[in-house]
Amino acid sequence: MSEYDFLVLGAGGTGLAAAMYAARLGLKTLILGASHGSELPIGGVITTTDIVENYPGFAKISGMELTKKIEEQARSYKLVTIKEEKALEIQKNKNHFYVKTNKGKYSAKTILFATGTKWKKLEVAGSEKFERKGVNYCALCDGPLFRNKIIAVVGGSDSAVKEALVLSRYAKKVFLIARHDIHPETINLEKLKQDKKIEVLKNTNIKEIKGEEVVKSILLDKPYKGKKEMKIEGIFVAIGHIPLSDLAKPLAVKLNESGEIKINDETTETNVKGIFAAGDVTDKKFKQLITGVSDGCTAAYYAYEYITKNKLYVSS
Amino acid sequence: MIIKVYSTPTCPWCIKTKDFFRRNNVKFEDIDVSRDARAAHEMVKKSGQMGVPVIDAGGKIIIGFDEDKLKKTIGI
């Protein structure tokens, strides 16, 4: 069984940056790139972001391109190994963690949960039936298939607004349907105001999605221009995320009521010695690539300190 | 076996699928459904859904990027 100092679950920006930093500190590091429940390739959620404008050093860069650079940087360190394997089970025995994946078994002195999140599904009548048949979750991926169609984005977050802005490039009309208000970053609110194809429907909910082979219409809980039924040919869901923290539960790692891993904000330590968490899976409020990368590096440093203090090195 | 990959240029799973074929020296036809409405229609008809990537491997339809399934289907 291969033994590592630092085992990172998740190969998003957070996990890749953490591994890069751990290698700088001399830790033999393994990243498992398809951690439990992950639906995203290496690079994580940011690969589905069209343009990143809030990462220092790059005024404008595609999410895919940026994560490629972060991945390349992590891979340039000999102490970093990336395996596209899915972690299935983690056990702790004294100062050792044992991780079973779909392809192998590994042991590690420290573990970092950088597992991120998965998209929250829309739960209304018809949403399951029409999934990928008009109910989609990635505007950047599937947006071009909705050229010249009338579509809707569900959600009120900054991410929902960004999805609407991506989709307006292709669609004839985009309705942004938010159950309360919308709360994008100011810069995206300005872009939204200038986009004539997007119409915001606040305090509105979808009650049902109708169609035949694919989505044809939606039923709203209040009328739009006098009618509750609206012709819509595609719905993109951006109503939030579910933290991928299932593997932390059997280890007695404390989670909050949303399932996010509780961490010490300064050190990224969890309540279990040797286990750290960073990025979207944690209970921190403000989550961006830039903050995940920062927390990942912090986790690497405190993992290094923990290993040094307890004389647990395997890489020397 | 003729392999077609229905994709969009910005989809990370599509990029990963194409990388997989290139890495394994498997020839494929890349069909950009964002530029070709007829191909997009063909993809929806073949797969019964509206998400990319869709892989047509000698008539067998695979939706999404699934490395194990791809390996099994094309026999590598």
What is the CATH classification number for the domain harbouring A55?
A: 3.50.50.60
**Where in the sequence is the domain holding A212, given as residue range(s)?**
135-237
pTM of the model: 0.87
Q: What is the pLDDT of residue A38?
A: 52
Instruction: Compute the nearest-CA separation of B41 from chain A (Å).
Output: 9
Nearest residue of A to residue B45 by CA position?
A213
Cβ pairs bridging A and B (under 8 Å): 67
Task: Locate the domains of chain B by residue range.
Answer: 3-74
Q: Looking at the 3D structure of chain A, how many domains does it have?
A: 2
Residue A55 lies in a domain: yes
Residue ending a domain, choose from A211, A237, A263? A237
Residues of A with CB under 8 A from a CB of B: 40-41, 43, 47-48, 50, 62, 64, 84, 132-134, 136, 138, 140-147, 170, 213-214, 234
Residue A161 lies in a domain: yes
- Quick check: A315 and A304 in contact, CB under 8 A? no
Note whether A39 and A67 are same-domain residues. Answer: yes
Residue A297 lies in a domain: yes
Please indicate whether, in this complex, the C-beta atoms of A141 and B50 are within 8 angstroms of each other: no
Outline where A3-149 has alpha helix (H). Answer: 13-24, 63-75, 139-142
Q: What is the pLDDT of residue A37?
A: 47
Residue A127 lies in a domain: no
Please indicate whether, in this complex, the C-beta atoms of B8 and A43 are within 8 angstroms of each other: no
Note whether A140 and A188 are same-domain residues. Answer: yes
Note whether A68 and A141 are same-domain residues. Answer: no
Buried b (16+ CB within 10 A) or exposed e, A248-274: beebebebeeebbbbbeeebbbbeeeb
Q: Please state, in angstroms and rounded to a whole number, the distance separating the CA atoms of residues A136 and A141.
A: 9
Partner residue facing B12 (CB), from A43, A146, A213: A43
Residue ending a domain, choose from A208, A237, A266? A237
Please indicate whether, in this complex, the C-beta atoms of B50 and A133 are within 8 angstroms of each other: yes
Query: Which chain B residues have a beta carbon less than 8 Å from that of A141?
Result: 8, 10-14, 51-52
Residue A315 lies in a domain: no
Note whether A55 and A91 are same-domain residues. Answer: yes
Query: Which chain A residues have a beta carbon less than 8 Å from that of B15?
Result: 41, 64
Please indicate whether, in this complex, the C-beta atoms of A145 and B13 are within 8 angstroms of each other: no
Handedness of CA B26, A132, A153, A46 (dihedral sign): negative
Residue A160 lies in a domain: yes
Instruction: Compute the nearest-CA separation of A311 from chain B (Å).
Output: 40
**ipTM for this prediction:** 0.85
Q: What is the pLDDT of residue A258?
A: 94
Note whether A102 and A246 are same-domain residues. Answer: yes
Note whether A144 and A100 are same-domain residues. Answer: no
Nearest residue of A to residue B43 by CA position?
A145
Residue A126 lies in a domain: no
Please indicate whether, in this complex, the C-beta atoms of B10 and A132 are within 8 angstroms of each other: no
Predicted confidence pLDDT, tens digits, chain A (316 residues): 899 999 999 999 999 999 999 999 999 999 998 744 456 778 888 888 888 999 999 999 999 899 999 999 999 999 999 998 889 999 999 889 999 998 899 999 999 999 999 889 999 999 999 999 999 999 988 998 999 999 999 999 999 999 999 999 999 999 999 999 999 999 999 999 999 999 999 999 999 999 998 999 999 999 999 999 999 999 999 999 999 999 999 999 999 999 999 999 999 999 999 999 999 999 999 999 999 999 999 999 999 999 999 988 776 5
Please indicate whether, in this complex, the C-beta atoms of A41 and B16 are within 8 angstroms of each other: yes
Residue A130 lies in a domain: no
Residue ending a domain, choose from A214, A237, A260? A237
Distances (CA, A) of A151 to A164, A183, A221, A263, A278: 9, 20, 17, 39, 35
Note whether A60 and A141 are same-domain residues. Answer: no
The angle subtended at Cα A178 by Cα A177 and Cα A182, nearest 5°, is 120
Query: Which chain A residues have a beta carbon less than 8 Å from that of B40?
Result: 144-145
Please indicate whether, in this complex, the C-beta atoms of B12 and A141 are within 8 angstroms of each other: yes
For the domain B3-74, what is the CATH code?
Answer: 3.40.30.10
Determine which helix (DSSP H) or strand (DSSP E) holds B22, and give its type and residue range. helix B12-23
Q: What is the pLDDT of residue A39?
A: 61
Note whether A15 and A38 are same-domain residues. Answer: yes
CA A6 to mean position of chain CA atoms: 21
Query: Which chain A residues have a beta carbon less than 8 Å from that of B34?
Result: 144-145, 147, 170
Residue B7 pLDDT level (bands cut at 50, 70, 90):
very high
Look at residue A164 and give its three-state secondary structure: helix
Q: What is the pLDDT of residue A133?
A: 93
Note whether A13 and A110 are same-domain residues. Answer: yes
Note whether A204 and A59 are same-domain residues. Answer: no
Question: Cβ atoms within 10 A of the Cβ of A158, count?
Answer: 18
Note whether A50 and A182 are same-domain residues. Answer: no
Note whether A288 and A187 are same-domain residues. Answer: no
* Mean pLDDT in residue range B44-70: 92
